Amino acid sequence: MRTEQAPIIHRSDYAPLAWTVTRVDLHFALDPQATVVTSRLACRRNPEAAAGPILLDGEELETLSLTVNGLDPAAGTVRRGETRIEIDVEGDEAELEIVTRINPQANTALSGLYRSRGGYFTQCEAEGFRRITWYPDRPDVMARFTVTVEGDKATCPVLLSNGNLVEEGELPDGRHYARWEDPFLKPCYLFALVAADLVVLERRELTASGREVLLQLWVEKGNLDRTEHAMESLVHSMRWDEDSFGLELDLDRFMIVAVSDFNMGAMENKGLNIFNAKYVLAKPDTATDTDYEHIESVVAHEYFHNWTGNRVTCRDWFQLTLKEGLTVFRDQQFSADMLANAAGAEGADSARAVKRIDDVRVLRAAQFSEDAGPMAHPIRPESYQEINNFYTATVYEKGAEVIRMLHTLLGPEGFRNGMDLYFSYHDGQAVTCDDFVEALSEANGVDLDQFMRWYSQAGTPRVRATGDWNAADGSYTLTLAQHTPPTPGQADKLPLVIPVAVGLIGADGTDLPLQLDGEQHGGATTRVLQLTEATQQWRFTGLAAEPVPSLLRGFSAPVILELDEDDARLAFRMAHDSDACNRWDAAQRYAERVLLALAADAAAGRALNVPAPFVEAFARLLSDERLDPAFRAQALTLPSEAYLLERMEPADPAALRAAQIHLTAALGKVLSDDWQSLAEALAVPGEYRYHPADAGRRALVNLALRYLAAGQVEEGVALAVRRSESATNMTDRFGALAALVHGAVPAAQAALGAFYRRYREDALVLDKWFALQAGAWRRDPAAAPVLGRVRELMADPAFSLSNPNKVYALLGGFFRANPGEFHAVDGSGYAFWAEQVIALDAANPQVASRMARALENWRRFTPALQALIRPQLERVRDADGLSPDVGEIVGKALAD
């Protein structure tokens, strides 16, 4: 039986509440199954809103008492619903006291107050606070919080909440308490509480204005030796926000807590950030370079939220990208600066490009596919059933691209002026995306009305480019045409403002000075053109010969560029484009072309042949020692399977997988000498340090091992076996293991076993081990399907369906990172998917919903696969007691 459909919430329905809250005083008497929460709310009528009752939200609360101004409410003034209480009150002020009882132990959704490894933790964004106590749970209600936490001293010696510690003491029966006061107004989604047995790494720092602040990093006992990198990252983030935006830490104390069970990456609760342990803990033996990088950027992201999100917050959840897009942009800029600093003057540009390429890769794999499916939404959605489903690549990553375009259009100074004005207007307020863009517009005296369409139109715009060379007058006319395909509920789109960074390359491979018709210009070699109409033309003059266009340099807009280039031209740009992003992109386009052609051959049962010119172009990049290893690693990594499936019509994962297996094996075998000498020459000597230069070399060596193992090159496999056994750091050890597994060489099994024995006690390391096997390829069609191994691994004592990291590693690794196996033609993967989504949904809808999304783009697949997927989607849709989270995903997937 299917449950009632969740109501649809519309952005246009926003209205301020009749009553708001000014002060909150919370008391928690912690108990595993019966925590009592006493909440005193000072409520005030909102003079700007229409008259009405006090509205409170609640979910799974046992209400013990409720008084209004110290008295039982008069008959008929309180209306109680399952998730809503309405209270009629006379006058303009009222004090409510509400006592609720909650069961943290039974809270498997990890939203609200829950337990993890003996401790208590909270997660309130987006709507988790209502699972703690009755409250107007929306971000435009901003109040001052005081919190008293009372708990068992032996099991929970550490009691934390937002702000400053103002009192602590002993209580009878082995209990103790701590009282915290947050001096800043905040919405309840930024409330946090932690009570657990933790140890701390501390550091005192001075802010730019000379105030001393205490930085604390709380982790479980035994993990202190993995905290240094996160602390360093935090200090770097503080400095960067001071230097780049003049924004200082506003609290005396800033805490980060690591927790093992967490639905997402981390949470920016005011003064008390709570992190998935995965984004805190690192030491060389357990964390890879990529882990170090992610930790740095997530620490920065949450820290930056203190201003973009907390000091200025969102009026309603439709504005989510106001804080997320902007904060992702800020963390991307931070990481780029950190990489550039470490690389030194000479390597800075390449280091920045490598970071940009990383970000573009994520956008293309995760966001473009979202735009192409039933969940497509503008960065500011118009409606939702479950807000947790909208913490998406669109809101985050495309949101960051939109901010980046503003940065490009206004220039760094103009952007900074706009940010300054934004804070001067809106500090302490809950605002909208319009407020943000208006501040930027006013500070720069530019009209951004048309630009606002980026906030309301969904879909990935296509920019079609054509060039026309006129030999007679030495001019080159570039025509750019834009078009955004329809998305669900949005058939017709208007032209957007699209900044297109353009360069022209001469026959010798160097950039030509750009001279636009009728314009006196200093001969810059890259210029940003603003495409604002459906079609526009630009005429470049003074050219001696036909140039090669290099468009969308630095990926200057989140669009798909359509440009007809033959193989020779792609190879030329792979070798010469001065814009590293475009050089990488040329390699990606060429590889895409080759892979899709191979996939078509595989689907038709034809023999697979890798074109020699591609191998030559690839080999030239491989051995170009002028290129930074980190860049080479990017350029020699094939486009992601997710991205390629998006480009395939219809998507045929088995054929694509066959193509990838063939191409990686061929590149490994044919270029085995190059790969081997590269692996030798670039091996990083000495002790591990997290440094981008070393990381780039390790990445390229690991890539070499991958190709060598894929090509079953004996010496390469032997090298990978050695490194998987005796590497001195996780990057090398895991890189070698991954090469063996992806190469499906016989030695992989023993290496996996040894790895497991070595790290059997280490949950975070085992996540890698699970994910690696879930994502394995079968190079021998007679080998057992990966699904069987996934089922076996679910029974491993180290696996747990209640730990999100484990689910993302093993099930996510299979559903999302292994399309070639998940989409097995017998439909076995789909039945398994339905079974797991239903099981997960009963315990944790947020996690289930993320897994459910693995099939949302099912209509892009071959008719045979679609016929197998549909009944499984229907099975999930019809499951008993389905959550609104999963209900929204499968509902939209099945809608006509």
Residues of this chain that interact with Zn ion (CB under 5 A) are 324, 327
Does the bond joining 642 to the residue before it have cis omega, within 30 degrees of 0? no
Kindly tell me which of 59 and 641 has the beta carbon lying closer to ligand TRP: 59
Residue type, 532: T
Q: How far apart are CA 559 and CA 449, in angstroms?
A: 20
Pair of tokens at residue 310: 């907390």
Name the minimum Å distance from CB 434 to ligand TRP.
21
Q: Which is nearer to ligand TRP, 240 or 759 (CB)?
A: 240
Work out how close the CB of 375 gets to ligand TRP at its nearest, in angstroms, rounded to a whole number. Answer: 16
Q: How far apart are CA 764 and CA 275, in angstroms?
A: 14
Partner whose footprint covers residue 559, from Zn ion, ligand TRP, none (CB < 5 to 8 Å by kind): none
Comparison of 327 and 487: residue with beta carbon closer to Zn ion:
327
| Closer Cβ to Zn ion, 399 or 845, answer by number | 399
Q: How far is the CB of 304 from Zn ion (least distance, A)?
A: 8
Closest CA to 369 of 855, 811, 808, 821: 855
3-class DSSP string for 750-787? HHHHHHHHHHCCCHHHHHHHHHHHHCCCCCCCCCCCHH
Which of ligand TRP, Zn ion, none lies near 266, with the C-beta cut-off 5 to 8 A by kind?
ligand TRP
Considering the complex, what minimum distance in angstroms separates the CB of residue 111 from ligand TRP?
A: 7
Span interacting with ligand TRP, options 87-95, 122-130, 329-337, 547-555, rule CB under 6 A: 122-130
Q: Which one of the spans 44-52, 68-76, 266-274, 359-367 is the region binding ligand TRP (CB under 6 A)?
A: 266-274
Q: Which is nearer to ligand TRP, 724 or 803 (CB)?
A: 803
List binders of ligand TRP among 365-404 (CB under 6 A).
388, 391
Min dist. Cβ of residue 309 to Zn ion (A): 7
Which of residues 284 and 845 has its CB atom nearest to ligand TRP in the complex? 845
264 binds ligand TRP (CB under 6 A): yes
Min dist CB 314 to ligand TRP, Å, is 10
- Quote the tokens at residue 187: 């919405």
The length of the chain is 896
**Shortest distance (Å) from residue 389 CB to ligand TRP:** 10
Q: 45 is written with which tokens?
A: 């009528």
In the complex with ligand TRP, the residue whose CB is nearer, 35 or 389, is 389
With the C-alpha atoms ordered 754, 755, 759, 762, is the resulting torsion angle positive or negative?
negative
Compute the least distance from the CB of residue 262 to ligand TRP, in Å: 7
Q: Residues near 769 by Cβ (< 8 Å), separated by ≥ 6? A: 752, 755, 756, 759
Q: Is 302 a catalytic residue?
A: yes
Nearest CB to ligand TRP, comparing residues 251 and 267: 267
Q: Smallest distance, Å, CB 305 to Zn ion? A: 6
Give the whole-angstrom CA distance, residue 460 versus residue 884: 27
Beta strand segments in 163-271, E = 164-171, 175-181, 193-196, 198-206, 212-220, 253-259, 266-267
* Footprint (CB under 6 A) of ligand TRP, residues 272-301: 301
Q: Does 54 bind ligand TRP (CB under 6 A)?
A: no
Subset of 463-492 contacting ligand TRP (CB under 6 A): none
Q: Quick check: helix, strand or coil at residue 459?
A: coil
Residue type, 878: D
Whether omega before 666 lies within 30 degrees of 0, making that bond cis, reads: no
Residue 635 near residue 621 (C-beta atoms within 8 A)? yes
Q: Which of the ranges 10-18, 157-165, 265-273, 819-827 carries the binding residues for ligand TRP, by CB under 6 A?
A: 265-273
Residues 147 to 176 in contact with ligand TRP, rule: CB under 6 A: none
302 binds ligand TRP (CB under 6 A): yes
Interface with ligand TRP (CB under 6 A), residue from 126, 595, 824, 834: 126
- Nearer to Zn ion by Cβ, of 315 and 632: the residue is 315
> Any contact of residue 241 with ligand TRP (CB under 6 A)?
no
The residue number whose beta carbon is nearest to ligand TRP equals 264
Q: How far is the CB of 266 from ligand TRP (least distance, A)?
A: 6
Q: How far is the CB of 233 from ligand TRP (least distance, A)?
A: 15
Which helix H or strand E contains 402, and what residues bound it? Answer: helix 399-426
125 is a contact residue toward ligand TRP (CB under 6 A): yes
114: nearest Cα among 170, 33, 182, 55: 33
**How far is CA 139 from its chain centroid?**
22
**Among positions 142, 193, 266, 496, the unique one binding ligand TRP when judged by CB under 6 A:** 266
**Position among 35, 123, 269, 805 found at the interface with ligand TRP (CB under 6 A):** 123
Cα separations (Å) of 840 from 29, 847, 884? Answer: 30, 7, 13
Query: Which is the catalytic residue, given 220, 302, 324, 397?
Result: 302
Minimal distance, residue 319 CB to Zn ion, in Å: 13
CB 24, min distance to ligand TRP, A = 20
Q: Is residue 281 left, alpha or beta, with left meaning phi > 0 and alpha meaning psi from -120 to 50?
A: beta
**Residue 527 or 850 having the CB closest to ligand TRP:** 850
From CA 120, how far away is CA 197, in angstroms rounded?
A: 10
Partner from Zn ion, ligand TRP, none binding residue 263, C-beta < 5-8 Å depending on class? ligand TRP
CA distance from start to end of the chain: 21
Residue 732 partner contact from Zn ion, ligand TRP, none using kind-dependent CB cut-offs of 5 to 8 Å:
none
Among 220, 324, 331, 358, binds ligand TRP (CB under 6 A): 324
- Please give the order of strands across the beta sheet that includes 193-196: 112-116, 119-123, 193-196, 158-161
Site membership for ligand TRP, residue 267 (CB under 6 A): yes
Tell me which of ligand TRP, Zn ion, none is bound by residue 659, counting a contact when its beta carbon lies within the kind-specific cut-off of 5 to 8 angstroms.
none
Q: CA-based Rg of the chain, rounded to a whole angstrom? A: 28
Those residues whose C-beta lies under 8 Å from the C-beta of residue 637, and which sit 6 or more positions away, are: 703
Among 182, 268, 511, 767, binds ligand TRP (CB under 6 A): 268
561-600 positions binding ligand TRP, by CB under 6 A: none
Assign 432 to helix, strand or coil.
coil
190 part of the interface to ligand TRP, by CB under 6 A? no
233 binds, among Zn ion, ligand TRP, none (CB under 5 to 8 A by kind): none
Q: Can you tell me which of 237, 263, 313, 389 binds ligand TRP, judged by CB under 6 A?
A: 263
Q: Report the distance separating Cα 218 and Cα 274, nearest Å.
A: 10
Residue type, 36: V
Cα–Cα distance, 378 to 392 (Å, whole number): 11
φ and ψ of 738, to 5 deg? -65, -35
- The DSSP call for residue 804 is H
| Residue 303 binds: one of Zn ion, ligand TRP, none (C-beta under 5 to 8 A by kind) | none
- How buried is residue 436: exposed, middle or buried, by Cβ count under 10 Å (0-12/13-18/19+)? buried
Q: Does the footprint of ligand TRP cover residue 129 (CB under 6 A)?
A: no
Are 841 and 817 contacting, i.e. CB atoms less than 8 angstroms apart?
Answer: no
Max CA-CA distance within the chain? Answer: 95
Q: Which does 391 bind (CB under 5 to 8 A by kind): ligand TRP, Zn ion, none?
A: ligand TRP
* Cα(780)–Cα(864) distance, integer angstroms: 23
**Cβ(212)–Cβ(206) below 8 Å:** yes
Query: Which of Zn ion, ligand TRP, none does residue 841 bind (CB under 5 to 8 Å by kind)?
Result: none
Nearest CA-CA partner of 334 in 293, 291, 366: 293
Q: For residue 888, state whether it binds ligand TRP (rule: CB under 6 A).
A: no
**Partner in contact with 30, chosen from ligand TRP, Zn ion, none, beta carbon below 5 to 8 Å by kind:** none
Contact 639, 592 (CB under 8 A): yes
Residues that bind ligand TRP (CB under 6 A): 123, 125-126, 263-264, 266-268, 301-302, 324, 388, 391
Active site residues: 302
